[in-house]
Each structure stands twice: as structure tokens, then as C-alpha cells.
Chain A
Amino acid sequence: MTNSKYWEDLILWYLRVSLLLLLLLLIGVLLVIFKNALAAFSVKDLYLLETKSGKKFLGEIWLNSRVAEDNLRLRVGNRDIYGKEFIVVKKDEIESIRVDKDAVLVERVKWGVFIGYLKELIIGNRRVDPEISIVEKTIKKVEKLREKEHELSRNIARLSNELRVVQEKSSPSPYVLEELKKRIETLFKELDNVRAEISQYKLVASTVEGDISTLDMGNVVRVVASGKISYFKKSKIYLSRIWDFLSEYPAESNTAGGIMPAIFGTAVLVFVMTIMVLPFGVIAAVYMHEYAQEGWLINLVRVAVSNLAAVPSIVFGMFGLGFFIYRIGGTIDSVFFPYKLPHPTFGTGGLLWASATLAILTLPVVIVATEEGLASVPRVVREGALALGATKWEVIKGVVLPGAIPGILTGAILAISRAAGEVAPLMLVGVVKMAPELPISGEFPFIHLNRKFMHLGFHIYDLAFQSPNVESVEPLIFATSAVLLVIVLLSNAVTISLRNYLRKRYTHGL
């Protein structure tokens, strides 16, 4: 008897370990993503490393899964000088390694970071000692100038556009033309002035080898002297780096900068999809539950709809490409935009078709959830309303639909959380690595449904597999993954809690 007790306990142990492994997997994945994502923005110490052969390296320590245990990976920056951002040193070749308090890291718009020592700050003809506070003030000043520069170039682009429109008219008024040209000219002059002013500011720095390098302040985003600043300052830089990442456009062919358009594209995509899927899903469910004759046909439809959820998402993508883009879009083009052919307007991937594809993908979810909601409205209530003389539509409008709203909401949120993480179908229907314009703008008609768009999920895929420089992009991928994960997990958490809340309300209410 005792013998078998041993065995039984042992079996239980194996069960426990398997659950432990399952939870470890989940926690492990989350840990890896969030740890790496957060580490991507942290202010790291700069190390000065000397090898036995006398080589000197200055940089941050960045380890990843590709670096073997007996190696050390340093981010030495200075891509414009060294050609690559990271170097790997064997640990047993290291002579000495220590934190270098004097070294600074300069974040730049182009060429990634510069790591070295500050020598001088040049303002016009003056040469100033590069104290951090002065440098930072200068950066702020230059930043304002650069904003001005951006605004000027935006205005020039807008006016040139206007000019083109006026010129294309059959009889352009010479007065307007002259006026516009004059304004553009003055703006150009102003722009030249601002640019000249920006180019006055320069930062002279040296690399660890002592090579002097002059950095244009217009190219400098931030100077971080990690050895000399307080923890408070460090966390401030940390937060502002995260903010920049979330709010800025990608730079240097997606290998730097932020992911704002991707977040924006994902949000607009999911929003448009929700607007599409909700009315149709609800109408279909109301039809199936309230109007259709019960029988084998409607049961077959029900089975077919619920089985659609098992169809691989890439198949929906093919449907989107073959049906929406080639058939419907192609027809729209040949009927309404024949003058633009062979350049397609709607006959190519875009926001509209991507949203429609995702809407079809999530429609079964919404239909099933709404039907459940409709079924939860008790017969008594309907019959009571009918007995009071209400028509069928009035019963549905006044009694059934309000009662089914929780179900509809659940369906909507389920649809959103499924759509936000879906990438495979989007690859076929209009997601791009770099969209020149956001799908929403101040220009008429404000929402541009035919524009291509960026997407967080595709951004991850693109960074990981199409990027020329995976090494330096890797932290960005982790950060993007974390953002996507947060969005998906949040909407999922909302679903779960909403479901629990509604369950409670139902059981209490009735």
C-alpha cells in the first residue's frame, strides 16, 4: 500500500512540474520581452576596455542570446567611423575594464550614437568649454531652430503645392502666381538663414583612439554623460527616450527613431474594422436569431459561421487580396478612376481593404457573441412587450437589443484583441514597412482609406527580417513587441474582466 502511495505522489509531482513549466514558459516570454524592452532605453554606464593586444574600446555593455558566455559585447557606436555599432571581445583577451566617468554618449539623428569625449563647443566663432549644462542649453536652442526649420519647409511644401494647383488651371491669374512665388522665395530665404544659424553650432569630440570628430549640433538629439549625472536625471532621460520612441516617426529606414505611425496605423485599422464589423455582425446575428426560420438551413449557417473561426488567418488574407483588392478594387478603379490606370487607386492594398479583411476575420466572433447575448434575453420579457402591443421591431429595439448589449460589447472587444495581434493577412492586403503619410490627415476627406499604413506587428516582422542591421535594431524590436503586447494584453484584460462583471450582473439581475 505504501509502495503505491509513493507512485501516486510521484505522478502528482510530474503533473505539478508540467504546470510549472507551462507557467515558466509564459513568464519567461513576458520577462524576456519586457526586460529587453526596458533595457533598450536605460542609461548605461560607459566602459573603457583595453585588450591584451593594446586595443581600446569605449562603449556600453549589451549582452544578448547570440553572445557566448566567454564573450563580451560592447556597443561602441560611431557607425560613421567604425562602420559597425557593436563589437565582440573574448573575455580572456581583456586586459582591463572600468567605468569611464568622463565619456559621453551623443544621440544623433543620423548614424546612431557617438561615444567618446567632449572637447569643445563651437558657437559661431566662439569656442566654449563643453560643460554639460551649457551643451544641453545649446541643444535646446538648436532644437527650437530645427523646429522652425521644419515648419518653414512644411510651409514651403504647402505653398509649392498651391502653386502647382494654380499653374494647372487653364487661365492662372498672373497676380496670384506672382504673389505665391514671392512668398515661397521669402520663405526659402528665411530657411537658408535658419539653416545657417543651425550650422554655427558644432560639438567637437574625440573618439577613444583620440580621433577628433566634429558633430553638427543640428544632428545631435541628446548628450548623456552617464558618469556624471544623478539617478533622477538618468530616469528623466530614460522616460524621455521612451516618450520619443512612442511619439516619433521612424528614422534611417526604420532602424532608428520611433514607432508612432505604426501605433497610429494599428489603432486606425482596428477602429475602422470595429466600425465595419459591429453593425454587420449585429444585423446578421439579429437576423439569425430573431427573423430567420429555425431549421436545418439556419443551423448549417450557424455551424459554418462558427467553423470560420478555425480557418487560418492567412486564408482570410488571400480572400482580401483576391476578392476585395483584385475583384472589387479593380472594378472600382476601372469604373471611377480609369484616368489613373495603370496606377491603381483602390485596386491595391490599403487601409480600407485591410480593415475589411480583418472585419471578415472577426465577424464570426461578433456574430456568435451577439447571438449569445440575444439568447440571454428571456422569452418572458419579449412576450410581455409583445402583449403590450409592441411590434416586432419595437421589441427588438426597445427590449432585446439593450439586453444584448453586454454580449455585443464582449464580441467587439474579442474582435479587437484578435485583430490587433493579427499580421499574416495584413501582409497581403496593404501593410507597408514605411508609409509616407498617415491614414488620417487634415486634408479632405480626412480619413484616407486607400492609403497604405504601418502596423506594429508588421513593423516587428520587418525590423527583424528586412533590416540591414539587425544588431542595432534588436532593442527596438523588443520595445515594439512590448508595446504591441501591452495593447493586446490590455484589451484582453478588459474582455476578461468585462465578461466576469457581466456574468455577475446577469446572475444577480435575473
Chain B
Amino acid sequence: MLSRRREDKVFSVLIKSGGIATIFVILSIFFFLFWEVLPIFVPARIETLKITTVKQTLKGEVFLLDEYMNYLISVGNDGFKIVNAREGDVVSTEIINDLHAFYLDPLTYVLFLVRDDATVDIFDILWVEKFTKFGKRFVEPSIDKVTSFKLPSKVDLIRGVKLPEDEGYLFIGSSKETLYFVNLETEEDFLTEEITYSPRLSSFKVEHNVVDVAISRDGKFICVISGFYLSCFERENLLSEKLLSYTLSSRAVAFDFLVGDRALVLLEDGKPPVVWITAKIGSEVRFVNAKNFSRGCKEYINLSVSPINRTFLAQCGNGTFYAYYSTNERLLLESPAPVLSSPIFITPRGDHLFWVTKDEIYTVRFVNDYPEISLKSLFGKVWYEGMDSPSYVWQSTGGTDSFEPKLSLIPLLMGTLKGVVYSLIFAVPISVLSALLVSQFMNSKQINLIKPAVEFMASIPTVILGFLAALWLAPLIERNLFSFLVIFVLLPFYILVFYFVFTVLPSDSKWKTIGLAAVFIYSLGPLFHMTKRLEYLWFEGGFVEWLSENGVYYDQRNALIVGLAVGFTIVPIIFSIAEDAFSNVPKSILVGAMALGASRIQAVFKVVLPAALPGVFAGIILGFGRAVGETMIVLMATGNTPILDFSPFTGFRTISANIAVELPEAPLGSSLYRVLFLSALLLMVIALVFNGVANYIRMRLHRKLKF
């Protein structure tokens, strides 16, 4: 007795815990998506301040910290120093007494020094990779002199960059109204493989005193502020053809190109930052002011651009600093800086910020994982670099590291909608009408034949339909587009012809129907050939070519094809729900209407159809929900190009196909990964809402029809 009771208890506990655990796991799918999306809503922040006391006074003005934050490079008017940023020891010092001006490029790690005798030295800052005893990687800086050259006269302001792929260096120096532009091209000796640089100098006269210069790191653009005028040029047309001219309203503190070299940031006192991006206006490249930022400083101290993305930071004189993201005009962070009036710097991985005073280094962690995601970039129009106007674009990855991710979900949502609409156009009439016929005008024997057939239809794997649509149907329709369209339009009239034949013929056996159906099917062949001849006559044999000549673009894999294939998968759903709704209308109503003198058709259309209409609607909604989530067909039968139009002859990309294409390539936890989960969440919410609405309608209808 005891053991029986114990057994009962044990199993009760087992089933309860097992059941709850199972239910928990399957319901966790709802929460898991939220969980994966959640981090993108966490705003950027700074964490844990670390202060290192440096054991010597630092006279530097510009600083660089390596990605592991082990070494600080400090450059000032007395030369440069390398400091151990963890311990505070000065590792090496290079004192230069005759230093006149210097420039350290924070993104290409190159240092230019001008001596009193107008000699310019170029140093590369190299991060030498090393490993600790435990196999952990770290880097040690080494500052190597590359070359030096002499300018005609001394310059006060210098700028320079190292060009990508070892193409050499660009240098600009200016004093008052003179501007020297030096291009140092790499020359490799064939025999010794020794690399030398030959400086080619050109000098310019500018109308006003040169205040600041910025060079894009690919060497393509050069921008100059002289007096109160900012102008940008292509390197080849320096000071001749202006790509941008802008009049400053107050003191310009800093300006620089962002990563990718197609966006220029300017900090002017008392204004939010101004960002210009390159845009194609007609056939020409111009800089346009396409971004608006909400906050700024009265008095800026400096600008620091992130080496990894389009984040940039501005330090204010009052001790606050701001972080912005260029693409979506987002203010990422507004925060007090740990030190007043020291410039802000960012580390090479963009994940730490630091400030340096005379004897201390302040470092903070900068958590900024998803700056490119915002409501504006997901759902709004954004003017991306190099484009001619603001637009909705999905292009998540590009060829280079400095690619600007374009994460608009609008093309995907619209693509999804397009696919669904075209499949509904095809599926709704055929399935609802068939359901009406089956439920109202057929006997149970016929019904028992047709219903399993439709169920069969529902179970055909979509990958097969996708393959058929893409490789069999798409070329077929491309070759015979005209015939298909004509037959599609003509079909209702053609049926009319058969109807008249039917009424004229005597006899009333079922063979007449079957025979006519056979003739109907067989006559489609000659009809098809007739349309082919017409096409040949009217369009010289090429309707598709004619279309494209008249500006209608035709993709082989297009919305029409997808509509047919996805429509095929939702026909059984709409059919069975609608059939269910029709046959649930009590026979008594139908019979009652007929007893009052209505004909069968009248009774069906005036009584049964209105009563069952909510059920039909529910079926359509369910079909909608199913079509939204369809993946394989759209993956195979569209070109998967995320474009935004509603033409039936072009392809598109849906949310589901986008996930299938991009998720395997998306690194865990990256912005793309999160956005894909967000799109999946959208997809699930859409499907669930539609399913819920449909079920609710059906439930109410059921209750209503029960009396």
C-alpha cells in the first residue's frame, strides 16, 4: 500500500515537473527572441574609471593608447614619450629641442614632426604583436622613422595621413596664406626591394590665413578652413574645383573625416556638430549637409573619431562630452568627463575612452555595441554616404571594414507584404469559390474525394514548390508572359463561351460536364498558340523585351512567380477554413430561405455567404499569416534583392528569406545578429496577431451560428 502511494507521488512529481519544464521550454521561444533583441535598447554608457598616476610630468598634447591599454604614446612640443599605462613608468623618451610643429594622425598611426629648419620627419607608429607566457596577445609600440624631407619655409600648421596599401603618405603644411602639399609616393627598388619615398611638392596661395586642414585617409579629399571659409576639394583639383563651400559662424575647433572617408565632421562653438557626407548630385560628387544633431557645446575642446565605426566624440570646455553616431544622427551619450578641459581620446578598438592630464591617465570603458541601430535607421529614411538622396536601404555587409551598414527594415517589410499580397490575389478567389462549391453544391461522396486532395496539397514540402517555381515555372512564364497574361484576362470570358455551349447542348448527364471540362482543358493549347502568334505579330516575338524597352523591368524570378507558388501553399488553408465556415451555417437557414421562394443560388449567396463571411475572412487572415512566414519559396523564387517597389515583374526580399540568407553569416551578438532577431520578432508578432485575430473571429462565428 505504501509503495503504491509512493509510486503515485513519485509519478505525480515527475509528470508535474516534466510537464512544466516542457511547457516552459516551448514558451521560452517567445521570450528568447525578446532576450536577444533587448541589448539594442540599452543606450551607450561608460563604466569603471581607472586612474593611472604617471611618474613624470607629461607635457604632451596628443595621445594614443594601444588596444590593450598597456602603452600610452604622448606627443608634445618637447618630443614624444612612451608610458606604461598600467604602471605609470615612462618606458622611453625622445626629446627634440628644435621641434616647431607636430601632427599625430589617430587613425593611420603616423606622426609628422617639423623642425625649426623646416625639415619634416615622418614616423610610423607600429604595434608589434607579442605574446605573454600564457599565450595572451599584446602589442608593444615602436616608433620608426620612415623618411624626412625639407620644405621651402617653416610651417605652423601640419596635417598628414598614411595612405592605405602602402601607397605612401600625404602631407600638408601651411603658415598664414601659404599651403604646401606634399605627396610621398612609395618607390620600391627592383633589385634590393628597398623602399624609398620621393616627395613631390606643390605650393598654393590662399586668400585668408589657413586655420585647419583635413585629409581623408584614402587620400581622395582635402578640406581647408581659411579665414571663415571651409572648402573641400578632390586631391587632384586642389583649390580649384570646390566640392563644398561653407561659411563658418563662429570659431572652428576641429574637423576631421570619419571612418570610411566619406563623411566630414566640423565642430563650431555654440552649435551641434555639422556633418557633411559625399553624395552623387547628377554625375558629380558633392559634400552635402545631410545630418542634424540635437546637442552640442558652447565651447569645444576637441574632436575624436572612432577608428572602427562612425562614432565621434566631442569634448566640451564645461567638462561634458558627447558621443554621436553619424549615419542615424544619434546622440549616443552625454556624460560628464572625469577631467575638465582635457581633450578626449578613443582607443583603437573604440571600446575605451581616455583623458590625460599632466600626471594622470583616466580611462573608462565605453560600451557602445549597437550605435548603428535606432528607430530612424531601422524604419526611417536615411541619407547614406555616396547616395543621391535619403532612402530605405538594407545592405548589412560590405567589402571593406569601413563599410557603412544600412539596416532599414522597410524594404524587407515591404517585400514581405508584396509577396503576401500577390499570393493572396492568386489564392483567395480560387480557394473561396471552390470552398463554396464544395460545401454547398456537392454530395458527401464528392467531398470525401476532394478534401483529402486539398490536404495532400498542403503537405507538399515548400522547398519542392520553390524549386519548381524557380527553375521550371519562372523560365516558362518568362518565355510566355504575354500568353499567360492574355489567358489570365480572357479566362472569365472564355468560361462564358463554354457556359453557352453547355446550355445549348441537350442531354443532362454528368458526362456532359466531364466532357466539357476535358474540351476546356484541351482547348487551352490552341488558345495558347494563338496568343503566341499575336505576340509575334504585335511585339515582334518579344513581349518581355518590349516591356523592358518601355521601362518596365522584368526579372525572371519575380513577384508573379512567388505569388503563384506561395499562393499554392495557402490555398489549402483558406479552402479548409472557408469550407468549414460555409458548412457550419445551419442547413435550416438555407432550407428556410428556399422555402420562402429563394432559389438555391440566391439562398447560398444571400444567406449562407453573408453568415459565413467572417469565417472566410478568418481563413484569408490565416493564409496571410502563413504567407508572411514562408521562407523556402521566396528564398528560391525571388532574386532576394531588397528593393522597394510593387511591380509584379521584379523580385524582392522578405524578412524570412533575409534571415535564412544572413543569419548563418552574422557573428553572435553583432548588430546584424540583433537586427535579424528583431526582424524575427516582428515576423512572429505579425504571425501571432493574425492567427489570434483569425481564431477570435472563428470562435465568435461558431458561437453565433450555434444559436
Q: Decide whether A and B assemble into one complex.
A: yes
Q: Within the complex, which residue of A32, A314, A470 is in contact with B468, where a contact is CB–CB below 8 Å? A: A32
A284 adjacent to B468 (CB under 8 Å): no
| A14 within 8 A of partner (CB) | yes
A424 at interface, CB cutoff 8 A: yes
Known contacts A291-B16, A461-B466: does B659 contact A314 (CB below 8 Å)? yes
Q: Which of A296-336 contact B (CB under 8 A)?
A: 301, 304-305, 307-308, 310-319, 321-323, 326
- Residue of chain B at shortest CB distance from A285: B19
**CB under 8 Å from chain A, chain B span 653-669:** 656, 659-660, 663-664, 668
Q: Which of B1-41 contact A (CB under 8 A)?
A: 4-5, 7-8, 11-12, 14-16, 18-20, 22-23, 25-30, 32-33, 36
Q: Is the CB of A15 within 8 A of B437?
A: yes
Is A18 in contact with B25, judged by CB distance below 8 angstroms?
A: no
A234 to B683, alpha carbons, bound, how many Å?
52
Any B CB within 8 A of the CB of A134: no
| A421 with B23, Cβ < 8 A, contacts A24-B521, A311-B684, A492-B455 known | no
Interface stretch of the complex, out of A50-58, A111-119, A372-380, A391-399: A391-399
- Which residues of chain B from 462 to 506 have any CB-CB distance to chain A below 8 Å in the complex? 462-468, 470-473, 475-476, 479, 491-492, 495-496, 498-499, 502-503
Residues of B within 8 A of A315 (CB): 29, 33, 629, 680, 683-684
Interfacial residues of chain A within 16-37, with CB under 8 A of chain B in the complex:
16-26, 29, 32-33
* Chain A residue, CB-CB nearest to B27: A304
Judged by DSSP, the binding face of B is helix
List the B side residues contacting A322 at CB < 8 Å.
Answer: 32, 36, 677
What's the least CB distance linking B560 to chain A, in Å? Answer: 15
**Max count, chain B CB within 10 A of own CB: residue among A5, A417, A420, A464:** A464
- Whether the pair B472, A421 counts as a contact (CB closer than 8 A) is no
Residues A65 and B461 in contact, CB atoms below 8 Å apart: no
Contact A323 B32 (CB under 8 A): yes
Give how many A residues have a beta carbon under 8 Å from the other chain's beta carbons.
93
Given A292-B19, A477-B467, are A4 and B472 neighbors across the interface (CB < 8 Å)? no
CA–CA, A301 to B520, complex, Å? 52
B64 at interface (Cβ–Cβ under 8 A)? no
Is A283's CB under 8 angstroms from B499's CB? no
Q: Are B636 and A464 in contact (CB under 8 A)?
A: yes
How far does the alpha carbon of A16 sit from the alpha carbon of B660 in the complex, in Å?
Answer: 39
A18, B632: Cβ atoms closer than 8 Å: no
In the assembled complex, A12 has its CB within 8 A of some CB on chain B? yes
A22 & B571 in contact (Cβ 8 Å cutoff)? yes
A280 / chain B contacts, CB cutoff of 8 Å: 18, 22
Partner pick for A427 among B7, B471, B660, B692, CB 8 A cutoff: B660
Residues of B within 8 A of A19 (CB): 433-434, 437-438, 450
- Say if the beta carbon of A105 comes within 8 Å of chain B: no
A410, B635: Cα distance in complex, Å: 32
User: How big is the B interface, by class?
Assistant: 35 or more
Which residues of chain B come closer than 8 Å to A232, judged between CB atoms?
none
Cα distance, A319 to B496, chains bound together (Å): 52
Residues of B within 8 A of A288 (CB): 19, 23
CA gap between A291 and B12 in the complex, in Å: 8
Query: How far does the alpha carbon of A14 sit from the alpha carbon of B493 in the complex, in Å?
Result: 10
Hey, which chain A residues are within 8 Å of B457, CB to CB? 25-26
Q: Is the CB of B631 within 8 A of A312?
A: yes
Interface: B688 (CB within 8 A): yes
Q: Is the interface of A mostly helix, strand, loop or mixed?
A: helix
Which of B461, B571, B601, B626 gathers most chain A CB within 10 Å?
A: B461
A286 to B499, CA, bound (A): 57
A352 at the interface (CB under 8 A from B): no
Nearest CB on A from B516, distance (A): 10
CA distance A394 to B520 in the complex (A): 64
In whole Å, how far is A225's beta carbon from the nearest beta carbon of chain B?
Answer: 32
Given known A-B contacts A12-B601, A13-B495, A18-B433, A461 and B691 have beta carbons under 8 A apart: no
- Say if the beta carbon of A428 comes within 8 Å of chain B: yes
B479 CB to nearest chain A CB (Å): 6
A285 to B684: give the CA distance in the assembly, Å: 24
Query: Which residue on chain A has the smallest CB distance to residue B7?
Result: A393
Contact with B along A418-443 (1 / 0, CB 8 A): 00111110011000000000000000
Please list the 9 inter-chain residue pairs (A to B) with the smallest Cβ-Cβ separation, ordered nearest first: A287-B19, A312-B629, A421-B461, A310-B691, A424-B631, A18-B433, A391-B8, A15-B437, A8-B601
A-B CB contact pairs (8 Å), 15 listed: A11-B605, A15-B436, A19-B437, A20-B520, A283-B19, A287-B16, A301-B27, A310-B691, A312-B684, A316-B29, A318-B680, A424-B632, A428-B660, A458-B463, A465-B636
* B interface residues, Cβ below 8 angstroms from A: 4-5, 7-8, 11-12, 14-16, 18-20, 22-23, 25-30, 32-33, 36, 429-431, 433-434, 436-438, 441, 450, 452-457, 459-468, 470-473, 475-476, 479, 491-492, 495-496, 498-499, 502-503, 513, 517, 520-521, 532, 568, 571, 575, 599-602, 605, 622, 625-626, 628-632, 635-636, 656, 659-660, 663-664, 668, 676-677, 680, 683-684, 687-688, 690-692, 695
Measuring CB to CB, which residues of chain A are less than 8 angstroms from any residue of chain B? 4-6, 8-26, 29, 32-33, 64-66, 68-69, 280-281, 283-288, 290-292, 301, 304-305, 307-308, 310-319, 321-323, 326, 360, 363-364, 391-394, 396-397, 417, 420-424, 427-428, 457-458, 460-461, 464-465, 470, 474, 477, 481, 484-485, 488-489, 492, 496
